[in-house]
Amino acid sequence: MTDNMIYTNKLTKCFGDNLAVDRLSLEIPAGEVFGLLGPNGAGKTTTIRMLSALIGPTSGEARVGGYDVTQDGYMVRKSVGILTETPGLYNQLSAERNLSFFAKLYEVADIPAQVEKYLRMLGLWDRRHEEVGTFSKGMRQKLAIARALLHEPKILYLDEPTSGLDPQASRIVREFIAGLRQEGRTIIICTHNLSEADRLCDRVAVFRSKLLALDTPTNLRRQIFGRMVVFHLTEAQPGLAEVVGGVDFVQKAEIVENKLVITLDDPEAQNPTLVKLLVEHGAEIRFVGELRRSLEDVYLHLVNAPMAEEREED
Element (H, E) at 18: strand 18-29
Q: What does the pLDDT average to over 269-282?
A: 92
Least confident among 39-48, 52-61, 167-176, 285-294: 167-176
Same domain, 180 and 231: no
How far is 116 from 149, CA to CA, in rounded Å? 12
Instruction: Output the pLDDT for position 17.
Output: 92
Domain assignment of residue 259, yes or no: yes
Give CA–CA dist 275/284, Å, rounded: 10
Average pLDDT in the 248-260 region? 91
Task: Answer yes or no: is 306 within a domain.
Answer: no
Distance separating alpha carbons of residues 295 and 158, to the nearest angstrom: 19
Contact 80, 153 (CB under 8 A): yes
Domain hosting 260: range is 226-295
* pLDDT value of residue 286: 93
Is the same domain home to 18 and 113?
Answer: yes
- Model confidence at 311, pLDDT cuts 50, 70, 90, reads very low
Domain match, 27 and 121 both: yes
Last residue of a domain, one of 196, 215, 234: 215
Q: What is the CATH number of the domain that holds 19?
A: 3.40.50.300
185 with 145: CB under 8 angstroms? no
Query: What CATH number does residue 233 fall under?
Result: 3.30.70.100
Answer whether residue 314 shows pLDDT above 60. Answer: no
What pTM, to 2 d.p., does this model score? Answer: 0.84
Give how many domains the chain has, as a whole number.
Answer: 2
Specify whether 98 is located in the same domain as 16: yes
Q: 67 - beta bridge partners? A: 64
Residue 303 lies in a domain: no
User: Which pLDDT band holds residue 310 (cuts at 50, 70, 90)?
Assistant: very low
Q: Are residues 132 and 170 in the same domain?
A: yes
CA dist 107 and 23 (Å) reads 35
Question: In this structure, are 23 and 172 located in the same domain?
Answer: yes
Q: Are residues 138 and 287 in the same domain?
A: no
Strand ranges (E), 115-258: 155-159, 186-190, 203-208, 210-215, 227-233, 252-256
pLDDT tens by residue, 19-58: 999 999 999 999 999 999 999 888 999 999 999 999 999 9
Per the CB < 8 A criterion, the answer to whether 141 and 170 are in contact is: no
Q: Residues 6 or more apart from 222 whose CB is under 8 A from it?
A: none
Q: Is 306 left (phi over 0), alpha (psi -120 to 50) or beta?
A: beta
Structural domain contains residue 300 = no
Evaluate whether residue 276 is within a structural domain: yes
Round to whole Å and give the CA distance between 162 and 137. 10
Same domain, 162 and 205: yes
Q: How many helices (H) and strands (E) does the chain have?
A: 12, 14
Tell me the mean pLDDT in the region 113-125.
93
Answer with the one of 179, 195, 215 that is the final residue of a domain.
215
Q: Is 43 inside any structural domain?
A: yes
